[in-house]
Structure 1
Amino acid sequence: MAEVEVKPILLTLDDVIRATGQSRSSIYAKIKSGEFPAPVKIGSASRWSYRELEEWAEAHIAARDAEEKAQRQTDEIIEEARTTGRSMDALYAERRAG
């Protein structure tokens, strides 16, 4: 069976703005700070890799999910400390120990 070559999908700035909800100036500021994928230059045109933007979005989703999980765990410890009278430090230590 012949191998299928998958070519990269390149997006315009307007595509990136629509996909991310970021403004043009925000995109370029984040590129400058290393927080956003840089474009590929094709002549004078700038194009963004769909794959890199997808990875960027997935990383932000994972970070959000981790933050929400940590907040839920903190809320649970606060509630347990409030209802049992135990110290939050002791409860955190127990959870870290497994």
Structure 2
Amino acid sequence: MSESTFSKYFRSAAGMTFSAMVKKLRIAHARRLLDTTDASIGQVGQRSGYRNMANFNRQFLAEVGVTPTAYRKLESSQKPKADLFSLGLRARATASSTHS
């Protein structure tokens, strides 16, 4: 399967691009690590697949709305809700609305 064919089918099934999915999964993993470990922000970034800490901070801020350091300092009740998604759910909802 070519890269462009994979991208087309992935986007159709998941409702987002492959790279967007990878970013969401990495940030979700980082949030779990920040919530459950005492690892440094740098270690969390590396364990989440980021080699460049400036990029990790920028991507985390864009996805969560606060920096990793600020996120860790928040009480659990103050933390932004995780963006829940399910593979294919968005694509199925879109497909059913276009067929109605």
Bin of the TM-score, shorter chain as denominator length: 0.3 to 0.5
Report the TM-score when normalising by structure 1.
0.36
Structure whose residues are more often helix by fraction: 2
How high is the TM-score relative to the length of structure 2? 0.35
**Which structure has the highest strand share of the two?**
1
Q: Which has the higher contact order (CA 8 A, sep 6+)?
A: 2
Greater radius of gyration (CA): 1
